[in-house]
Structure 1
Amino acid sequence: MKLSNQSTVPVYTIAGASTARPLPEWLARKRRRSLKRDPEFANRIELLQDFEFEEASACVRVSENGEWAMSTGTYKPQIHTHYLPHLSLSFARHTDTLNQTFILLSSDYTKSLHLQTDRSLEFHTAGGLHYRTRLPRYGRDLKFNKRTAEALVPVVGVNADGSGEVYRLNLELGRYMKAYEVNVGGDDFESLGGGALQGGIRTGAVNCAAIAEESHGLMAFGTSLSTVELWDSRSRNRVSVIGQPSSSLASDVDATPQITALEFHRSGLNFATGSSTGVVHTYDLRLPVPLLRKEHGYDYPIQTLKYLTPSSRSSSSNGSENLIMSADKRAIKLWNSEKGDHWTMIEPAVDLNCVEWLPDSGMLLTANEGRQQHAFFIPQLGPAPRWCAFLDNLVEEMAEDTEDPHAFNTTQQGAGEVYDNYKFLDMKQLREFSLDHLIGQTNLLRPYMHGYFVAQKLYEQARLLANPDMAEQARQKSIQQRITKERESRIRGNKKVTVKVNRRYAEKLAAREEANERRKAERVLRQGGDEPHEVNVADAEMANEEAEVVPKKKTERLLDDARFKSMFEEEDFAIDEQSREFVMHNPSTNAEAAPRKRGLTAVEGDELDERKGSSGEDDDDSADEDAAADAAALRARQQGKRRDNDAEDPRKRIGSTSYKKGAGGKTSQSRPTQDPQMRVSSSNTAFKKQKDRQSKSFGDLASDLPAKQRASDARANWGNSVGEKEVTFAPSKPPKQRPQQEINADAGRDRARGKDRRSASGNVFRRM
């Protein structure tokens, strides 16, 4: 699906030679499978399956109900019929000769009439060829008059009276009626178009025909003399003749343009003619001169003329009521029939033979000289047909995609619009732009779902009136965006962490990320850049160690993750570094934290009471003031003793036995009083000593102890964190010995029982 022309009216090529390359039949199957990697072939859109012929296509028609499409082509001569709701080929049928043109007689495909190049008319039904009849002369065009049930065939040459003819085949009676005689120049060599005998070089002919079916029912026939004759089917007489315009008269007979295409407007008052020199004239039946002259620009005969008039006013698009389509073998042009202004054009890569417009839609189907038939879609002309409504969504997505080179994007178009020349507004927006008074009063607002479609020009005017400073605001906004973009593109130095809460944690994460990047850069430099290399054992081990130390990538990117954004902005997620849980999980930060206050133990309380009792002579006020100081000094002394014991030996702690000994009174009184000593110790030093002790054996640890300590520990029943355990051997009385005679008697009895008697039990393993 490609955008054919990037103009104000975009045209999308849905099917054709420019969208996908055709595959020849002799291409190997393996080569076809390899094409799945080709982006052009993989991204193609097949609007209709097998919408192609072996060599070329001649004509294409769509049924009245819009569900069937029939086309003819070569080589070999054949007919293809597609069922549009299924987007597939229904059947294919071969014919004896090439088809020149055909018409559908029914609302579907079941009845069709075909004009062949061998002067024959063929009637086809759903089952196949129904009837064939021959024509006296070669036909140029084929029309069907529904009011008289007659098939009209303009032909080449003159009759015995020197007039051209339009054959009438009455399908109700089943016979030929008297032909319409049209002036094509006579059979003399003096008049214009002379020498018109059948088979001559300058043979006169009736080239085309048109019928005003929806209005007055007049028939128009275009001749090789550049004249148009109007006939009435009721009186079977000529009504009027429109001559050649004075601007196109020429003295040379060879340069005389011929009428090659005719088309009536739905109103019946206007009609258009196309000449063999690529000039289109529009006429009013009430005036003898043309209203407008439009040159196609390629000097090729006009093959197709069509007024793009919608069937209902509600389904019409903006500006499509007065459009006319003209096509030659090079291009298709759409222009205004009243002013002649160019609207849009389509120029495919191959020559065209026939163009068919699907009424009330923006779809065009063509029969051309290429293998693939073309399908074009114009969103502004109308919506997509019912059988391919998905094209509207595809066009809308392409219009919103700014990175798609084939997308249609303009500065005035906003994202989310269904059509390029309309803007969707809801009721709130209508009130803001003061357009709500137009609801139900005019066709400028087209209701759709919960809002209205407004013409783009009206929307721009209303928005400008509602906000006169809109242009200046848009200009300032654009300038600010450019300045911001330039600032972001500048080279910055070290990253600075800007967060509201948990700054230390954010800085820690940033430092860890920088360390990882620096480690990675060093590894890349050590490997010699980005070139492929062989990883040695040392680099692999270092990478594994880094992977173990460095957390996962998700943890490193917490600052950039939107899920954890509130962690660094809201006060509820602030980390309390003074809490006991934080100190336990982060022991290295314990030195920075404030000391935690706690109560006195039982021993500290007893010593504090003894000191208070000895100083009973002081007054109560001085005792209260000194109570806090004594408690702090006692706590410091106990902490100093505990640190000293931990630094010397972890086993020198207050256990159950030593505490009971000290509580007796003699030991505690005989211990000399010492001043509190403050020592600095860290968890790292204690952990290192703990690790050294674990690496020693039990004998080494016991030999390091002093003799007095070993003796006291031997009497105590306790264990420590190293894993020692005391084993106690309790003495017991020796067992009483039996006399040797009783032992020998029992042994003899057992041996005799085992030899001479069997056990009564069935389990032979009972005594084993």
Structure 2
Amino acid sequence: MKLTNPGPVPVYTISGASTARPLPDWLSRRRKRSLKNDPEYTHRVELLQDFEFEEASQRVRVSEDGNWVMSTGTYKPQIHVHDLSNLSLSFARHTTSLNHTFVLVGRGYEKSLHLQTDRKLEFHTPNGCHYETRLPRYGRDLIYDRFSTEALVPSAGLNPVNNSGEVFRLNLELGRFMRSYDVDVGEDEPGSGLQGSIGVGCVNVGAIAEDTHGLLAFGTSISTVEFWDPRTKSRVAVLGGHEGEVTALDFSPNGLSLAVGSSTGIVQLFDLRRPAPLLRKDQGFGFPIQNIIHLETASQERKILSSDKKVIKIWDEGTGEPWTSVEPIVDLNDVTHVKGSGMLLTANEGKQMHSFFIPQLGPAPKWCSFLDNMVEEMAEEVHTETYDDFKFLTLPELKSLSLAHLIGKTNLLRPYMHGYFVATKLYDQARLIANPYIWEEERVKRIKEKVEKERASRIRGVKKVKVNQKLADKILSRQEKREQVDTTAGVLGDSRFTKLFEDEEFAVDENSFEFKVLNPSTTVPGNQTSSADRTPAPDRRSGDSSDGQSDDDGNGHAESEEDGIRMRISSSGQNRVGQLKDTALGSRVQKAGRSEKARGGEVVGEKQVTFVPEPKKKAKPNQPAPPAKRSDSRRSASGNVLRRL
């Protein structure tokens, strides 16, 4: 039991699901086991046992004697009958087609008429379906006239004889159809069949003033209401000018007024003695009105209940002021009122059927009188006052905002314990006056939090592989600038490259010549040698002479002679001593002594190299060549420096 609509007129939800979609059976059973220690769950109220259907419920009715509740639903199409004296399900029965609506003929559940969606009208007794008959056209509503023992079925389509809508009359005492009521529903397209065309008019709904004058009212799809006298079987009057199709009708208990609901969500209240509406109410959602019920509260006030598939509204019959409302989380199909009480039962699209209790509408029914005591106990509970529009401040904080002078002078400051509750509007204004840049600081703070949040989401993914771990880390590092890191995207997630990270035959050898050529600036750990142990590689350009040999002048320079042109090329062995990594181009130029200061906006690095040809010096044929002098700064070819000691 839960207080659904707290306010001047509280509404209590006695039964019904709290979620739009039902939970699976296995999950609901698990949740029930976990809630067995919850005191709120253990003290719950189950008003009626198995007050539900497998998928959805269509209609619900309470018997005249108040001891039985009959409801229809799906899936599969079935009928449930609950015994209210025992608060349990009496029996369930399946049908061959879905039920559209039904009425209880007697005071109990023993006799009932069911209008099915396949044009059948079924008669049910406690033993089962007693008899069924076929209607010429689809029925839209079902009314039972007790004085003439006739079942009235407003139908869709036109009578091919006189091109008018029909209300079928089935006399239960004689057991045969009588002449139908001919209701004007417009014209149909020529050449249409028995059921009519798609846009054919129909009689949507009917109502009967059973306890008063006995007039019949039929609402049509052309926005009219026709009144018929069942004694003379003739039309009495026609009421038009409604907005949209007429979808709901209900006579007042005194029979002098009629409430009309339309397909546009408008409810109008008419006095039978005048054609103009006394009152006009908008339901608010624009859905067709499904039910209209005249109610009378415990204080003898007359109210009107109107419902569509979203909300149930109860409002005053004289002034139209809203009294209370109920808005379930599931779509409604039907609403019924337990007479003489404040109980409402609903058939809806959810698995569980809902029941609502309004204490100010009337007392609890006799079969659940314990609800009155429960409501009184809940009403006696002291509800602490909540300050939704107030902010708690201590006295130093109040003085910092220059609001201390308002203490005891206004109700915008409410003392509480060691501080005060300050109205939110006053607090915002005082804070803005104390610090005019508070909004800019708050904006910067929120932007910073948003940036930090996005930055935290850009964490490099980690994925362990058997081989080529560096390659996998390099691929994942490229995703740092993305909003989301996915370790299964690209090469890492492609099955064609699985062996690249699992098979050792595909391992990348970082000591190979090909790897060093493709990655010149990569330092391989554990493979760094000293400068004394490295031998400079011979320059291939200096050995391109005709005889395939290169001459060394003893100073680390090689000479190349061709066509009388001599070009000096310095050896890179001396300049690269101690250099293990590639350096910037500008630093290398400056160390080599070939750079000049930038003048006139010149960019360092863009230099011109000029080779000056020199004439070839011919050596004397009998003079031997001088021996090459060894430079002390040059390394020994053998690498053994101890021989010179």
Q: TM-score, normalised by structure 1?
A: 0.49
1:337 to partner: Cα distance: 1.4
Task: Measure how far apart 1:195 and its partner are.
Answer: 7.9
Question: Shift in Å at residue 27 of structure 1?
Answer: 4.3
Q: Determine whether 1:351 maps to 2:331.
A: yes
Q: Aligned match of 1:317 in 291, 295, 298?
A: 298
**Which residue of the partner structure matches residue 204 of structure 1?**
201
Residue of 316, 324, 334 corresponding to 2:314: 334
Find the aligned partners of 1:18 and 1:348 in 2 and give their Cα distance.
9
1:299 aligns with 2:289: no
Distance change in 2, residues 1:289/1:382 (3 Å): same
Structure 2 partner of 1:117: 117
Shift of 1:79: 0.6
Tell me the distance in 2 between the aligned counterparts of 1:26 and 1:205.
46
Instruction: Give the secondary-structure state (helix, strand or coil) at the position aligned to 1:293.
Output: strand
Following the alignment from structure 1 to structure 2, what is the Cα–Cα distance between the partners of residues 369 and 155?
Answer: 25
Task: State the TM-score, normalizing by the size of structure 2.
Answer: 0.58
Q: Which residue of 1 aligns with 2:225?
A: 228
Amino acid at match of 1:16: G
From 212, 215, 231, the counterpart of 1:218: 215
Deviation at 1:321, TM superposition (A): 3.1
Pairing 1:109-188 to 2, within 5 Å after superposition = 109-160=109-160, 161-188=162-189
Q: Give, in whole Å, the separation in 2 of the partners of 1:381 and 1:217.
A: 27
Shift of 1:26: 3.6
Superposition map of 1:719-734 within 5 A: none
What displacement does 1:302 show? 0.3
CA distance change for structure 1 residues 390 and 33 in 2, over 3 Å: closer, same or farther? Answer: same
Note the 1:37-56 alignment, pairs <5 A: 37-38=37-38, 41-56=41-56
Sequence identity percentage: 61
Q: How far 1:244 moved relative to its partner?
A: 1.5
Closer, same or farther: CA 186–486 of 1 in aligned 2, 3 Å: closer
Structure 2 unaligned residues grouped into runs of 5+ = 387-407, 421-645
Q: Would you tell me which structure has more helix in proportion to its own residues?
A: 1
SS at match of 1:5: coil
The equivalent residue for 2:582 is none
Q: What residue identity is the alignment partner of 1:385?
A: P
Match of 1:88 in 2: 88
Q: 1:336-356 CA deviation, whole Å, 9 max, x = no partner?
A: 111111111000000000000
User: How far off its partner does 1:149 sit?
Assistant: 0.2
| SS of aligned partner of 1:86 | coil
- Write the deviation string for residues 174-197 of structure 1: whole angstroms up to 9, x where unpaired: 0000000000002257xxxx9897
User: Is the Cα–Cα contact under 8 Å of residues 216 and 227 in structure 2 kept in the other structure?
Assistant: yes
1:319-468 aligned at under 5 Å gives the runs: 321-403=301-383
Residue 258 of structure 2 is aligned to residue 271 of structure 1: yes
Tell me: CA distance 1:106–1:405, structure 2 relative to 1, closer, same or farther (3 Å).
farther
Matches within 5 A, 1:283-298: 283-298=270-285
Equivalent pair of 2:258/2:270 in contact (CA under 8 Å)? yes
Q: Is the Cα contact below 8 Å between 1:355 and 1:364 reproduced in 2?
A: yes
- 1:259 touches 1:274 (CA, 8 Å); kept in 2? yes
RMSD across aligned C-alpha pairs, in angstroms? 2.7
Report if the CA contact (8 A) 1:365-1:376 is conserved: yes
Q: Deviations over 1:16-74 (max 9, x none)?
A: 11299966334486664233134554343211110000000000000000010000000
Counterparts of 1:236 and 1:394 in 2: how far apart (Å)? 51
Q: What is the alpha-carbon distance in structure 1 between the residues aligned to residue 167 and residue 344 of structure 2? A: 30
Pairing 1:244-263 to 2, within 5 Å after superposition: 244-245=241-242, 248=243, 257-263=244-250
Number of aligned positions between the proteins: 394
CA deviation vs aligned residue, 1:516-561 (integer Å, no higher than 9, x gap): xxxxxxxxxxxxxxxxxxxxxxxxxxxxxxxxxxxxxxxxxxxxxx
- Amino acid of the residue matched to residue 177 of structure 1? M
Q: Give yes or no for contact 1:195–1:203 (8 Å, CA) kept in 2.
A: no
SS at match of 2:377: helix
CA contact (8 A) 1:20 1:44 kept: no
Secondary structure of residue in 1 paired with 2:4: strand
Q: Is the 8 A contact 2:19 2:329 kept in 1?
A: no
SS of residue in 2 equivalent to 1:340: coil
Q: Deviations over 1:392-441 (max 9, x none)?
A: 111110011125999xxxxxxxxxxxxxxxxxxxxxxxxxxxxxxxxxxx
Q: Deviations over 1:161-212 (max 9, x none)?
A: 11000000000000000000000002257xxxx9897342211000000000
Residue 242 (1) aligns with residue 242 (2): no
The 5-angstrom pairing of residues 553-632 of structure 1 reads: none
- Partner Cα separation in structure 1 for residue 151 and residue 198 of structure 2: 28
Counterpart of 1:543 in structure 2 is none
What letter corresponds to residue 298 of structure 2 in structure 1? S
What is the CA–CA distance in structure 1 between the aligned matches of 2:21 and 2:349, rounded to whole Å?
A: 15
Per-residue deviation at 1:288?
1.3
C-alpha distance in structure 1 between counterparts of 2:185 and 2:247, whole Å: 14
Aligned counterparts of 1:39 and 1:293: Cα–Cα separation in 2 = 47
- Structure with more strand by fraction: 2
In structure 2, relative to structure 1, the CA distance for the partners of 1:23 and 1:216 (3 Å cut) is same
Contact kept, 8 Å, 1:119 with 1:134, in 2: the verdict is yes
Q: Verify the 8 A CA contact 1:323 1:336 in the aligned structure 2.
A: yes
The 3-state SS of whatever aligns with 2:85 is helix
**If you compute each CA radius of gyration, which structure gives the higher value, 1 or 2?**
1
Assess if the C-alpha contact under 8 Å between 1:19 and 1:44 holds in 2: no
Q: Distance in 2 between matches of 1:22 and 1:368?
A: 13
Local SS of the residue matching 1:158 = coil
CA–CA distance in structure 1, aligned partners of residues 378 and 332 of structure 2: 28
Question: Residues 78, 175 of structure 1: CA spacing in aligned structure 2 closer, same or farther, 3 A cutoff?
Answer: same
